[in-house]
Structure 1
Amino acid sequence: MPDAAAENPAGPRSGEISGTRVGLVVNPHAAAGSGNRIGARLVRELGAAGFDIVHLSGPTAGAALANARRSISEDRLDLLVVAGGDGMTHLGVNACAGTDIPLAVVAVGTGNDIAGALGLPVRDVEASVAMIAAGRTRSVDAGRVDGDHHRPWFGGTLYAGFDAVVNARANAWSWPRGQSRYNLAVVRELPVFSAIPYAVTIDGTRTETEAMLVIVANASSYGGGMHVAPHALMDDGLFDVMILHKISRPEFLRVFPKVFSGTHVDHPAVQITRGRRVLLEADGITAFADGEPFRRVPLRAEVVPGAVRVVVPAS
Structure 2
Amino acid sequence: MNSDDIAVLANPRAGRGRHRGLLPGVLERLGGSGRTVRLVSAGSGEEAEKACHRAVAEGVGALVAVGGDGTVHRAVQAVAGTGTGFGVVPAGTGNDFAAGTGVPADPLAAATAIATAVRDGRSTPIDLAKVTTAQDDVRWFGAVLAAGFDAIVNERANRMRWPRGPRRYDVAIMLELARLRPRRYRLVLDGVDHSFTGVLVAVGNCRSYGGGMLICPAADPTDGLLDVVVAASLGRGALVRLKPRLRRGTHQSDPQVGSYRARQVRIEAADIIGYADGERVAALPLVVSCEPGAVRLLL
Q: Per-residue CA shift, 1:37-75, capped at 9, x if unaligned? A: 333433344335523122213111111111111121121
Counterparts of 1:84-233 in structure 2 under 5 Å?
A: 84-122=67-105, 124-135=106-117, 136-147=122-133, 152-170=139-157, 175-177=164-166, 182=169, 185-233=172-220
- Scaled by the length of structure 2, what TM-score is found? 0.90
Structure 2 contact 190–263 (Cα < 8 Å) conserved:
yes
Moved more, 25-34 or 278-287: 25-34
In the alignment, which of 15, 25, 28 is matched to residue 12 of structure 2? 28
Name 1:16's counterpart in structure 2: none
Letter in 2 for 1:230: P
Counterpart-to-counterpart distance in 1, 2:48 and 2:274: 22
Aligned residues: 291
Counterpart-to-counterpart distance in 1, 2:107 and 2:256: 41
Structure 1 contact 26–36 (Cα < 8 Å) conserved:
no
Q: Per-residue CA shift, 1:171-204, capped at 9, x if unaligned? A: 5567554xx7655543342122211111000011
Letter in 1 for 2:73: H
Letter in 1 for 2:35: F
Counterpart-to-counterpart distance in 2, 1:52 and 1:181: 41
Letter in 2 for 1:29: R
In the alignment, which of 232, 249, 259 is matched to residue 272 of structure 1? 259
Counterpart-to-counterpart distance in 1, 2:44 and 2:218: 34
Counterpart-to-counterpart distance in 1, 2:136 and 2:45: 15
Structure 2 contact 31–115 (Cα < 8 Å) conserved:
no
Alpha carbons of 1:22 and 1:146: their partners in 2 closer, same or farther (altered >3 Å)? same
Letter in 2 for 1:118: T
> 3-state DSSP class of the match of 1:168?
helix
Query: RMSD across aligned C-alpha pairs, in angstroms?
Result: 2.2
Name 1:4's counterpart in structure 2: none
In the alignment, which of 283, 291, 296 is matched to residue 304 of structure 1? 291
Alpha carbons of 1:184 and 1:131: their partners in 2 closer, same or farther (altered >3 Å)? farther
Structure 2 contact 126–295 (Cα < 8 Å) conserved:
yes
Letter in 1 for 2:151: A
1:245 aligns with 2:232: yes
Could you list the runs of 5+ residues in structure 1 that have no partner in the other structure?
A: 1-18
Letter in 2 for 1:228: I
TM-fit CA distance, 1:146: 2.1
Could you list the runs of 5+ residues in structure 2 that have no partner in the other structure?
A: none
> 3-state DSSP class of the match of 1:146?
strand
- Scaled by the length of structure 1, what TM-score is found? 0.86
In the alignment, which of 30, 36, 45 is matched to residue 46 of structure 1? 30
Counterpart-to-counterpart distance in 1, 2:209 and 2:43: 26
Q: Percent identity?
A: 36
Runs of 4+ in 1 over 6 A off after TM superposition: none
Alpha carbons of 1:25 and 1:149: their partners in 2 closer, same or farther (altered >3 Å)? farther
Alpha carbons of 1:238 and 1:29: their partners in 2 closer, same or farther (altered >3 Å)? same
